Structure 1
Amino acid sequence: MGIDESSARRRELGSELRRLREKAGFQGRDIAKALGWAQSKVSRVETGMRGSSELEAAIYLATCRVAPDELKRLLDLHAEIEDGVWVRRHNPRLPDELRSLVVQETTATAISSYEPLIVPGLAQTEDYTRAIFRGAGRFANDDIELRVRARMQRQYLTRRPHPPRLRFLIHEQALRLPVGGMRVMHDQLLHLVLLNSLPHWLVQVIPTRAGARTGAEGAFMLEYSGAKPTVYVELHTAGLFLEQPKDIAAYREILRRLAEAALNREQSTAALARLASEYDRPEEDPDGRT
């Protein structure tokens, strides 16, 4: 039996996905539109005739507003399918913190972010993402490609119908850090210019001259309709989710101070375009020759 053929466990998972979709009051076409899938893909996943990645399953379940315990049970069921004899063994499971982040992002109505060293993941181009993972020196090539695809899939939430409001504060030093070379940075900067033209996006550059006011670690604040906010801080080996009022208040104040130091939309767009033009030149070899 091949990797894309149906199995009992896959049919079981598909049946559960369909049950929860119907419980949430969605038609198959509603889920397809929300996830950017073909309607036939929804049908094949729900009947067990097509596999899905764990990230796809997590986004599907979060869109259906599945309770945390039910989400964990179904993703564990998905992992059992991944461990079966008909599935490629080298596919790594999503880390628990990434599972949680996918759910939080998918259900958020607004996301605010500050990054001092790199462009935030939801705003990265594919080549920039690949360069980041390669530069980390911790992943095999196959693992890098899986992580790149996962990050690109996460970005669909920014393009879906009724996306969250997105406000990204990016330090100038992150935009001057040459990740992946001149072409990669040129394309990444132009991508940020494009994002800043979209009504639900706001990309603001924090200039280096802002000085010490920008001394903060990168963090996300996610806000919801009818629920308390969450702050996500990504560490080297784990991710922290903070929900205590004092933590939320502290990060609101950090974001407020950073916003005061940042350029406005028009100034930021102009700065991003200028930086893109600086990267628009031939690559140099190690000896400095073009």
Structure 2
Amino acid sequence: MSAAPDPLGRPPLERYLALPGFTPTVLTMVLGYRLRALREAAGISPRDASKELGCSEAKISRLERGESPLREHDIDTMLRMYGAQHELETVCELARRAKEPGWWERYGSAVIPKWFDKFVGLQEGSKLIRTFEVQLVPGLLQTPEYAYAVAEGGFQATAEEVRAKVEMRLRRQELLRRAEAPMLWAVLDWPVLQRPVGGREVMLGQIQHLITMSRLPNIKIQVLRPDCVAIGSPVTLLRFEEFGLPDVVYLEHPTGAIYLDKPEETGRYRLMLDDLAVMALSPAETRKELRRVARDLG
């Protein structure tokens, strides 16, 4: 396999064949952005590429944004067009790996809807997770008891679906303790600590768990000051250090989610998260406040 350089000076794709832990979601994004870099380096417009491929410009956009799986025929056509046929073997192998199901996909749509499936895959491959939560403790920081209470309060889930939802949530949390764990930076709105999800005992256990998790080197937890008024919805920003992938902002609503990756969009949310972190109690002050809340609950 050739180790030809990337048009933008990034490491060659071959390195991803040897790197473990890359999720299908992230691999699809890596390939999409690689194809866009090759197209732009060849001076070919999306319109001309779509004509050669016999498809719409919208499909080219979806492929380059990692929103659609790549077929071997399309890969061959695009690489020939871009003068990068030497990458065919590597790209096809990574495309095959990108089609392998992630561990979370075995739970099915009743437990993990399609619009959330992508988020889990992106989160698994991220290096930094920044999140602001206004209603609940973030899923990555929930105790099993708290997670059960949240799942039971959802949309008419069966007992088996509740069990599976909690099991999957706890499995997702394992990424925070792996060897190369991502950094999690969570800002919680003040009412999150006051809302007794699952009752007093469950909430006490959850607060104690937040104190424990806040001491890990890759986790930073902050709580907004009581006098801060943060009007908005939950937001999560994911950052990747591999292959120059853009930040992705995840915005969830009751029946779906929105994914943003344009710099002008994600930049605004990054600044918003920066402002919230400045307004919030520091991590040390947050631990002190969590201990106070625990005493009140105990």
Is 1:74 matched with 2:126? no
AA in 1 matched with 2:17? A
TM-score by length of 2: 0.66
Aligned match of 1:201 in 219, 225, 236? 219
Q: Give the Cα–Cα distance (whole angstroms) in 2 for the partners of residues 25 and 147 of structure 1.
A: 32
> Which residue is equivalent to 1:53?
none
Q: Are 2:223 and 1:223 equivalent residues in the alignment? A: no
List gaps (5 residues or longer) in structure 1: 1-21, 35-58, 83-87, 281-290
Aligned residues: 218
Asked if structure 1 preserves the Cα contact closer than 8 Å seen for 2:23 and 2:124, the reply is no
Larger Rg, first or second structure (1 or 2): 2
Q: CA deviation at 1:144?
A: 0.7
Shift in Å, 1:94: 3.4
- Superimposed CA distance per residue, residues 212-233 of structure 1 (whole angstroms, 9 cap, x where no aligned partner): xx11211100011121100001
Residue 74 of structure 1 aligns to a residue whose secondary structure is: coil
- Give the distance between the partners of 2:277 and 2:291, measured in 1 at CA: 20
Distance 1:91 1:245 in 2: 31
Distance 2:156 2:262 in 1: 33
Structure-1-length-normalised TM-score: 0.68
SS in 2 for 1:277: helix
Deviations 1:42-73 (A, max 9, x none): xxxxxxxxxxxxxxxxx864687885524674
Partner Cα separation in structure 2 for residue 73 and residue 91 of structure 1: 18
Asked whether the equivalents of residues 248 and 261 of structure 2 are also in contact (C-alpha less than 8 Å), the reply is yes
Partner residue, 1:24? 17
The structure 2 residue matched to 1:98, chosen from 116, 119, 139, is 116
Is the CA contact 2:214–2:221 (under 8 Å) kept in the aligned structure 1?
Answer: yes
Which whole-Å deviations, capped at 9, do the CAs of 1:239-286 have from their partners, x for residues lacking one?
Answer: 111112221121112112211110001100000111112221xxxxxx
**Alignment-mate amino acid for residue 140 of structure 2:** L
CA distance in 1, matches of 2:283, 2:198: 26
* Amino-acid identity (%): 25
Amino acid at match of 2:154: A
Q: 2:267 aligned with 1:274, yes or no? A: no
User: CA distance change for structure 1 residues 63 and 224 in 2, over 3 Å: closer, same or farther?
Assistant: closer
Does structure 1 residue 188 correspond to structure 2 residue 206? yes
Q: Is the 8 A contact 2:24 2:99 kept in 1?
A: no
CA change 1:61–1:172 in 2 (3 A) is same
Amino acid in structure 1 at the alignment position of 2:249: V
Q: Deviations over 1:70-110 (max 9, x none)?
A: 4674339x97xx7xxxxx9x984632222211211111110
Question: 1:250 corresponds to which residue?
Answer: 268
Partner residue, 2:4? none
2:100 maps to amino acid: L
* 8 Å Cα contact 1:112/1:168 also seen in 2: yes
User: Which residue of 2 is the match for residue 135 of structure 1?
Assistant: 153
CA RMSD of aligned residues (A): 2.7
Structure 2 residues without counterparts, runs of 5 or longer: 1-14, 32-65, 70-94
User: 2: distance between equivalents of 1:221 and 1:62?
Assistant: 16
The 5 A counterparts of 1:14-163 are 24-25=17-18, 61=24, 69=69, 70=95, 73-75=99-101, 92=110, 94-163=112-181
Letter in 1 for 2:208: L
Question: Could you tell me how far 1:235 is from its partner in structure 2?
Answer: 0.8
Instruction: Encode CA deviations 1:155-194: one digit per residue, 9 max, x unaligned.
Output: 1111111111110000110111010011110010011101
